[in-house]
Amino acid sequence: MEVFCDVDDFSAVFIPEWEKTLLTDGTRKRQRSGRMTMSEVMTIIIFFQMSHHRDFKNFYTGYLSRFYTAEFPNLLSYTRFLEVMPTALVPLCSYFASLKSEPTGIEFVDSTSIKVCHNLRIHRHKTLSGLASRGKGTMGWFYGFKLHLIV
């Protein structure tokens, strides 16, 4: 519920401002509100990413529609929700961008091996023979380079 409150507070501020900046083609269109609010749609998408379900269909039909009907009383059918989901892309990206914090200076170091050739062909290898060398990674011995990344 904490996620929904945070998303709903963001939606109350962002969506009216976003709708003011949208371009129109000149024709009048109905602005009918749907059964579910944009914050409910965004919350369900976030819940799916936080859950351990592998596919969205089983999450929506088997888990959400069975156990969360009290929290989402106007739950759409699965196919209708799939049609509504793309409309939440811009508000969802903006919500995640608002959550992003300033860089703290903490960096992560990771390394990976770049294999040049198979271990049995080391003695016949001539292309990078002066640069490549033997090394050991988590997956065993290799002949090539070790790439260190600082993220």
Q: What CA–CA distance (Å, rounded) separates 116 from 14?
A: 51
> What average pLDDT does the segment 65-90 reach?
92
Q: Angle 89-99/2-21 helices, nearest 10 degrees?
A: 120
Per-residue pLDDT tens over the stretch 7-57: 999 999 999 898 888 877 777 777 777 788 999 999 999 999 999 889 999
Residues 6+ apart with CB under 8 A from 130: none
Question: Which of 70, 13, 75, 18 is CA-nearest to residue 44?
Answer: 75
Strand partners, 143: 117, 134
Predicted model pTM: 0.64
Domain boundaries, the chain: 2-22+35-99, 109-150
In whole angstroms, give the CA distance from residue 143 to residue 122. Answer: 7
- List the one residue out of 96, 78, 80 whose CA is nearest residue 42: 96
